[in-house]
Amino acid sequence: MLKRTLIGLIRSHETTGEKAKDPALKTRYYKISKDQAWDEVVNMFKKLSGYKLLHEVKNVGEIVVERRTITGRTQDITLTMFGINPLKTAIDIYSASRGSLGDLGSNYRTILDIYRHIDKRLAAYKIND
């Protein structure tokens, strides 16, 4: 956690992916069609306090949301969904803070928070590595 805060002094974004060194930032997979996952995640953000749904581009698989941090900074968050096959979907998240200073790890925490909500919502479909 301290390492995240130190990285966050200079870096103001965080992203997930296949090759992430931190297991918490690895791409998540779900046994559910992309369309179903899409509907679930969009509906989740509509009800989730603290997040504002800005754009949904279904054909590209991108959902853009905004979040205000405790310090009043705005984070721009992009979720990307990939249909691996008709019954498997991958979800990646990119979160960046507006402004020039580092984020003190807040983008990292935001990504974990979003994954926690998605995991809860799609609990029946989560594929554990």
Q: HSE on the CB side for 26, CA within 13 Å?
A: 11
Structure confidence at residue 102 (pLDDT): 76
Structure confidence at residue 100 (pLDDT): 75
Do residues 125 and 31 lie in contact, with contact meaning Cβ atoms separated by under 8 Å?
yes
pLDDT by residue (tens digit) across 19-46?
999 999 999 999 999 999 999 999 999 9
Structure confidence at residue 9 (pLDDT): 64
pTM over 0.75: yes
Average pLDDT over residues 10-17: 87
Do residues 109 and 7 lie in contact, with contact meaning Cβ atoms separated by under 8 Å?
no
Q: Which CATH code is given to the segment(s) 2-127?
A: 3.30.310.220
pLDDT by residue (tens digit) across 56-76?
999 999 999 999 988 888 999
Average pLDDT over residues 95-105: 85
Give the pLDDT band (50/70/90) at residue 82.
Answer: very high
- List the domain boundaries for the chain: 2-127
Do residues 67 and 50 lie in contact, with contact meaning Cβ atoms separated by under 8 Å?
yes
